Structure formats: structure tokens, C-alpha cells
């Protein structure tokens, strides 16, 4: 009975594949009889389908059904085969069951339950692409590049990415212990408390008078309009705004259109990103439509190894258009496009269908974006002034300042630690932004004086 069902399954699989091949082989089927069409289909199947491998597949299927230690229904086996087929392609192609598809929608809308980090698979372990701001993962000290090898007592090796993600999700308030390996060091434990993750993708503040800061933690459907609104509000409160830092560090990406919208805020015109793949329908080109909404405001973009996908699209576009100085460390290098394709009403698959390219034709995939100026994160401490040091103002019978200033004005005290000790990359970016702003101001002055000289010369003719 078993062998009979096995032969029937084999016939069904091969027959289905032959039926698909029939569509490829029948160029003039309407003018041929059924016998010739069937002969062509068989010939096409022999040329296009690896029949020996299909026989091996059905043999393995039959052996599992007959001899595996636990009885498994055929539907589960076939779905596992689909999962294996997709996950064997690349780290981002995967099978989507009903729960996975729902989670995908929650992720792009900006609210979901869990720990708050973007993850992938590497060598069978869960790799942290980036923790999300103000989430349990970020607060506990999870870092980009961390490898998670255990979830509570469950070893990650052997799990699919979706199975690992399901273990990390749970009731808000419940705890999970992660075993983490960082930069080849010994494993250590981190205890995280699950929470509802409501991601606020856009934040702004002033770093110093006239210098603003725009942080984008993730690209969601409303990130573009949110960023435009935030920039306008920043300029209304600070009419003398002279520069802006766009912080994309540890931003794992998200919605492609949001990346295009953010780039469009700063680019005056031209291509922002384009995609190429085997299928013509996945080849698209996105261009600037609104023009530079900041009127050329000096811009520095911060990136690091946790900046992935949509973040790299923005950094690459602004770099190719020479619209911003890219500062930090090399980005993650995820330059592939995933399309969500339905398989039924409740199931689908996420399939890599194309690659991203920057306006100048650079592929991001496995290369990332190289910053214009590399600034690695470092712990910086300020040197205390030498108590024996003497300045001119300390000397007896010294001359007073010609402008009437008796002594140096006291420096404004900061409420917390100096920026350079808290975030050396951001401090360096601010210094660069000040330099760009100063150079622009000097150039504007030179241009204005040149115009005045020309006008005076013309009036004298």
C-alpha cells in the first residue's frame, strides 16, 4: 500500500512538472494534434527539468514518510521542502506562513511585539543587524554584529530564522535570556524583558545653536512625510540653521519608498536608486520629484555597520549626488530587493528578485557604502588642564585686551558629559558640518563682493 501511494505521489509530481513544461514547448500547439504536443512536452521536460534530481527528491520524500522516527503528514513535508528551497537561496528569501505575513505588516507599520532588533542568519546563528532605538534590546546593550547562539536554553543552531524570531517574541513583560558572542570573545548572557515595540522612526534636536540633528531609526511608510515635517519645524524654531546631521547608524532599513522620500528631501533632481533583476517587472528607477526641500543646507550623514538596505540607498544617493559628506564606518551591504509573492490566501514567500544600484551604478550588495571620511567609534576622555600651566592673562603687569575684555568669558556649562565623550562619531560629524558651513559662508561672501565689484565696474562705463 505504501509503495503504491509513493508511486502515485511520484507520478503526480512529475506529471505536474511536465504540465508546466507543456506551456514552454507548445509554440504552435493550436496547429498540431494532441500526440505531437505531448511528444514536444516530454522532450522539453527532458531538456529543462533535472529528472534524476526529481527522482531523488521523490525517493527522499518516500524514505522520510516510511522510516522517519516520527510520523509526519505529507503537507508538513512539502512545506518543509518549500522552506528549504527558499532558505537555500540567500539569507533573505523565506517562506511566509499566516503569522509571518502578519508580522511583516506590523514591522513596516511601525508597531510589533518583541525585543526590538533587526536580525538575520549567519552560519546557522542569529546575527543582529541593528538594535532599534529605545527598545529592550538597545537598552540592554545589544550591538550590531552580535551573534545570538542560545535563546534561553534553546540552541539556535538548526533553527530557521523564523523559528528563532518566534522564540524571541512573547508576552510583554516576560523575560528571555540571550547567549551572545561578540567579536570572537567568550559567550555572555543578557536578560531582556519583552515589550510592545512602537518605533518612532524620526527624531530631531539641536546639537548646538544653528546646527541640527535628524535621527532616522527605521524606514516606515510614514517616515518621509514625518522627516519633512520635523525639518520644517526645526527651521521655524531656528531660522539661522546652518547645517544638519542625518544619523542613519544602526538603521536596519525598511520600506523602499521611505528611503526614496528621504533622499528626495535633499536631492535637487536625477536618479535616487534603481533596481535590476532577471524579470523585467522588477526593474524600476526612482528619481527626485520634489527637489531639495532644504535649499542646499550643509549635510553630514552618519553610518556604520548596522546601517543596512534602505539606509544604504539614502547614503549612496546622497554620496553620488555629492549632496552630503558620509561619515562613520562601512555599511552592512544588503543591496538586494525582496518581493512578497502570494502562494495562497494565507501563505506566501519573500523572494529576492533584484539588486539595488546607486545613481552612479554601484551595487550595494555585499559591498556596502564606504564613507567619505572614516571615523570609528572610540572612547574619548578629555585631558585635564595642567594646574601649573600659565597664560598671558595670569602674568603680573600684563596689558589688558585692546577691546576692553578683561578676561576670557567663561564657557557655558553643559548639563551632561561633553558630546565628544558620549559619541565621538557625532562630535566629529558636527565639527565637519561647522567647517562646511564656514567654507560656504566665506564663499558666499566672496561671490557677493565679486558681484558688487562687477556692478561698480559696469556703472562706471
CA 90, 132, 94: angle at the middle one, nearest 5?
20
Cβ distance 100 to 342 under 8 Å? no
Query: How far, CA to CA in Å, does 132 sit from each of 2, 221, 379?
Result: 52, 17, 22
- Residues 344 and 410: their CA atoms lie apart, in Å, by 70
- Residues 150 and 164: their CA atoms lie apart, in Å, by 9
Cβ distance 400 to 406 under 8 Å? yes
Active site residue 53: no
* Concatenated DSSP letters of 53-88: HHHHHHHHHHHHHHHSSS---HHHHHHHHHHHHHHT
The single residue listed with the C-alpha cell 547608524 is 249
Active site residue 320: yes
Give me the catalytic one of 93, 201, 263, 309. Answer: 309
* Concatenated DSSP letters of 96-141: E-HHHHHHHHHHHHTEEEES-EEEEEETTEEEEEEEPTTSHHHHHT
Output b/e per residue, 55-84; b: 16+ Cβ within 10 A: eeebeebbeebeeeeeeeeeeeeeeeeebe
- Residues 405 and 394: their CA atoms lie apart, in Å, by 14
- Residues 318 and 297: their CA atoms lie apart, in Å, by 13
Cβ distance 236 to 229 under 8 Å? no
Give me the catalytic one of 150, 201, 247, 334. Answer: 334
Give me the catalytic one of 195, 261, 264, 320. Answer: 320
Active site residue 334: yes
The single residue listed with the C-alpha cell 503537507 is 75
What the block records as the C-alpha cell of 371 is 564613507
Antiparallel, parallel or unpaired: β 111-114 and 117-122? unpaired
- Residues 108 and 123: their CA atoms lie apart, in Å, by 27
Give catalytic residue positions.
Answer: 309, 320, 334
Amino acid at each position: 500500500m505504501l509503495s503504491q501511494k509513493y508511486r502515485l505521489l511520484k507520478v503526480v509530481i512529475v506529471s505536474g512538472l511536465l504540465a508546466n513544461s507543456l506551456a514552454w514547448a507548445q509554440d504552435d500547439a493550436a496547429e498540431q494534434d494532441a500526440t505531437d504536443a505531448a511528444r514536444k512536452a516530454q522532450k522539453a521536460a527532458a531538456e529543462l527539468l533535472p529528472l534524476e534530481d526529481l527522482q531523488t527528491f521523490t525517493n527522499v520524500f518516500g524514505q522520510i514518510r516510511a522510516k522517519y522516527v516520527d510520523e509526519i503528514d505529507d503537507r508538513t513535508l512539502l512545506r518543509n521542502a518549500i522552506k528549504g528551497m527558499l532558505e537555500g537561496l540567500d539569507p533573505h528569501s523565506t517562506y511566509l506562513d499566516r503569522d509571518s505575513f502578519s508580522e511583516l505588516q506590523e514591522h513596516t507599520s511601525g508597531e510589533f511585539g518583541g525585543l526590538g532588533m533587526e536580525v538575520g542568519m549567519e552560519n546557522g546563528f542569529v546575527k543582529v543587524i541593528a538594535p532599534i532605538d529605545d527598545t529592550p534590546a538597545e537598552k540592554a546593550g545589544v550591538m550590531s554584529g552580535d551573534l545570538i547562539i542560545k535563546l534561553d536554553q534553546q540552541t539556535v543552531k538548526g533553527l530557521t530564522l523564523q523559528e528563532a524570531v518566534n522564540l524571541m517574541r512573547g508576552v510583554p513583560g516576560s523575560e528571555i535570556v540571550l547567549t551572545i558572542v561578540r567579536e570572537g570573545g567568550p559567550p555572555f548572557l543578557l536578560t531582556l524583558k519583552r515589550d510592545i515595540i512602537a518605533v518612532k522612526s524620526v527624531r530631531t534636536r539641536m546639537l548646538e545653536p544653528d546646527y541640527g540633528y535628524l535621527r532616522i531609526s527605521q524606514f516606515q511608510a510614514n517616515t518621509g512625510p514625518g522627516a519633512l515635517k520635523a525639518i520644517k519645524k526645526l527651521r521655524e524654531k531656528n531660522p539661522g540653521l546652518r547645517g544638519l546631521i542625518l544619523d542613519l547608524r544602526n538603521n536596519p532599513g525598511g520600506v523602499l519608498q521611505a528611503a526614496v522620500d528621504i533622499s528626495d528631501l535633499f536631492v535637487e533632481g536625477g536618479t535616487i536608486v534603481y533596481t535590476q533583476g532577471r524579470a523585467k517587472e522588477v526593474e524600476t528607477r526612482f528619481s527626485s520629484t520634489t527637489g531639495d526641500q532644504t535649499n542646499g543646507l550643509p549635510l553630514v550623514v552618519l553610518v556604520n555597520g548596522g546601517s543596512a538596505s534602505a539606509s544604504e540607498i539614502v547614503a549612496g544617493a546622497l554620496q553620488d549626488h555629492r549632496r552630503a559628506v558620509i561619515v562613520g564606518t562601512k555599511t552592512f551591504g544588503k543591496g538586494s530587493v525582496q518581493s512578497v509573492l502570494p502562494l495562497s490566501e494565507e501563505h506566501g514567500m519573500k523572494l529576492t528578485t533584484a539588486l539595488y544600484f546607486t545613481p552612479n551604478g554601484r551595487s550595494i550588495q555585499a559591498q556596502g557604502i564606504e564613507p567619505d571620511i572614516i571615523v570609528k567609534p572610540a572612547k574619548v576622555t578629555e585631558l585635564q588642564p595642567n594646574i601649573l600651566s600659565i597664560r598671558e592673562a595670569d602674568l603680573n603687569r600684563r596689558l589688558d585686551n585692546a577691546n576692553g575684555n578683561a578676561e576670557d568669558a567663561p564657557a557655558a556649562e553643559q548639563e551632561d558629559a561633553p558630546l565628544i565623550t558620549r559619541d565621538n562619531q557625532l562630535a566629529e560629524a558636527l565639527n565637519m558640518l561647522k567647517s562646511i558651513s564656514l567654507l560656504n559662508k566665506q564663499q558666499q561672501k566672496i561671490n557677493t563682493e565679486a558681484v558688487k565689484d562687477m556692478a561698480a565696474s559696469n556703472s562706471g562705463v
